[in-house]
């Protein structure tokens, strides 16, 4: 069925909307309030456009800190398709089209054009239990970041012999509150996992993968659920590494190698961070991940490159465990020769 592509630039208060088809091109539809009680006005306008051509409806929005989620859920209830592409991929596509100007209206038109040109994968919301876990983990990460800042501030002031008076009292109070809040969130996470035995079982299986332990398993579990929803659980090893931004990017023209190969960094930042830390710890153990890492180093790879490859391998193994619902098999992993980084 032919589709009406609907590009929406989302802000906290407004939705700038453009529509388009390959035959008619792209045009601006209007600005609507980003409030649940006004979504019906947007739906009526979009449905009228689709009705004129007997078209399905496909929304394309960039993730904007959660402001897009209420509309995305509303659109799903209408039976529409929704895509939430990586903003960097959209910008790279726009640059390739020679687009440089940036306004809300132009962004909505750009998203419409991007949707028509690339047919981005459709989005599905996370299962409720996973979404709640994701929110808890994000709050934990925020509290850890704030606590680290206050502890660094206290350390710096003590080094300057300036840790005294009202400033010291304020920092001590803040550190105490943050430590208490962090303990509460940790307990809420434990209770959440205990209540949802399916998540507990998935986490237990993932911990059989070298490099995955208590500190990073839940972040990796949520990431894998998100990728599963994005691909209808049919994603590949290459796809999951790209989703985390761990896919290699080569710079070569003819016989000239202009730069060292890098990773795209276009995916989930939090997942990429915990995967790196997991790989860093995993290659120190006596396991297939260490063997993979050492093989690359012995073949002349720089240690940093080998560590990135180990993080990528860790994620591919984790995805296989997640999909198969079977624990990691070390013998099977060691039987395969490690691929080049």
Q: SS3 for 27?
A: strand
pLDDT for residue 337 is more than 60: no
Give the DSSP per-residue string, 161-230.
T---HHHHHHHHHHHHHHHHHHHHHHHHHHHHHHH-HHHHHHHHHHTTSTT--TTTHHHHHHHHHHHHHH
Asked whether residue 314 carries a pLDDT value surpassing 80, the answer given is yes
Residue 104 has pLDDT above 90, yes or no: no
Q: Is the pLDDT at 232 greater than 70, yes or no?
A: yes
Min mean pLDDT across 83-97, 123-137, 170-184 is at 83-97
pLDDT confidence tier of residue 271, bands split at 50, 70 and 90: confident
**Under CATH, domain 3-118 is a member of which superfamily?**
ATPase, nucleotide binding domain (3.30.420.40)
Average pLDDT over residues 284-299: 94
Once rounded to an integer, what is the mean pLDDT over residues 31-45? 95
User: Is the pLDDT confidence value at 253 over 50?
Assistant: no
The reported pLDDT for the residue numbered 256 is 47
Whether the predicted pLDDT of 23 surpasses 80: yes
User: Which is it for strands 25-33 and 56-61: parallel, antiparallel or unpaired?
Assistant: unpaired
Please compute the mean of the pLDDT values over residues 24-35 and round it to a whole number. 94
Is the pLDDT at 85 greater than 90, yes or no? no
What pLDDT shows up at residue 251? 43
pLDDT value for 260: 56
To the nearest 10 degrees (0 to 180), the angle between helices 269-282 and 288-298 is 90
**Domain boundaries of the chain, sorted by first residue:** 3-118, 128-195, 206-335
Above 60 in pLDDT, residue 285?
Answer: yes
Residue 81: φ, ψ to 5°: -90, 145
- Cα 68 to Cα 60, 108, 151, 162, distances in angstroms: 10, 13, 35, 45
Exposure string for 114-148, b = 16+ CB within 10 A, e = fewer: bbbeeebbbbeeeeeebebbbebbebbeebeebbe
Give the separation between CA 31 and CA 108, rounded to whole angstroms. Answer: 10
Across the range 267-296, mean pLDDT stands at: 91
pLDDT greater than 90 at residue 265? no
Q: Which band of pLDDT confidence, cut at 50, 70 and 90, is reported for residue 264?
A: low
* pLDDT over 60 (residue 338): no
Average pLDDT for the chain: 89
């Amino acid at each position: 069925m032919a589709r009406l592509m609907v590009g929406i630039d989302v802000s906290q208060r407004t939705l700038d909307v453009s529509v388009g088809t390959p035959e008619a091109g792209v045009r601006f539809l209007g600005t609507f309030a980003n409030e649940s009680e006004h979504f019906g006005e947007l739906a009526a306008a979009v449905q009228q456009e689709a009705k004129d051509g007997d078209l399905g409806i496909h929304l394309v929005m960039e993730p904007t800190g959660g402001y897009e989620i209420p509309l995305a859920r509303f659109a799903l209830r209408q039976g529409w398709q929704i895509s939430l592409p990586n903003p960097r991929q959209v910008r790279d596509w726009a640059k390739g089209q020679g687009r440089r100007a940036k306004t809300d209206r132009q962004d909505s038109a750009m998203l419409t054009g991007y949707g028509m040109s690339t047919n981005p994968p459709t989005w599905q919301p996370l299962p409720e239990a996973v979404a709640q876990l994701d929110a808890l983990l994000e709050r934990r990460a925020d509290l850890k970041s704030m606590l680290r800042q206050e502890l660094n501030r206290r350390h710096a002031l003590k080094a300057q012999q300036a840790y005294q008076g009202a400033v010291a009292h304020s920092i001590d109070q803040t550190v105490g509150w943050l430590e208490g809040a962090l303990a509460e969130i940790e307990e809420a996470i434990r209770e959440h996992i205990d209540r949802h035995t399916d998540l507990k079982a998935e986490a237990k299986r993932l911990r059989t993968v070298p490099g995955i332990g208590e500190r990073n398993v839940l972040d990796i579990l949520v990431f894998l659920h998100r990728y599963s929803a994005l691909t209808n659980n049919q994603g590949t090893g290459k796809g999951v590494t790209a989703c985390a931004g761990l896919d290699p990017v080569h710079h070569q023209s003819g016989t000239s190698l202009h730069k060292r190969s890098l990773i795209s960094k276009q995916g989930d930042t939090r997942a990429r961070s915990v995967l790196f830390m997991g790989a860093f710890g995993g290659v120190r153990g006596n396991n297939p991940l260490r063997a993979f890492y050492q093989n690359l180093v012995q073949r002349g790879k720089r240690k940093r490159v080998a560590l990135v490859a180990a993080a990528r391998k860790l994620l591919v193994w984790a995805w296989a465990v997640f999909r198969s619902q079977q624990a990691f098999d070390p013998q099977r992993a060691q039987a395969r020769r490690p691929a080049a980084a």
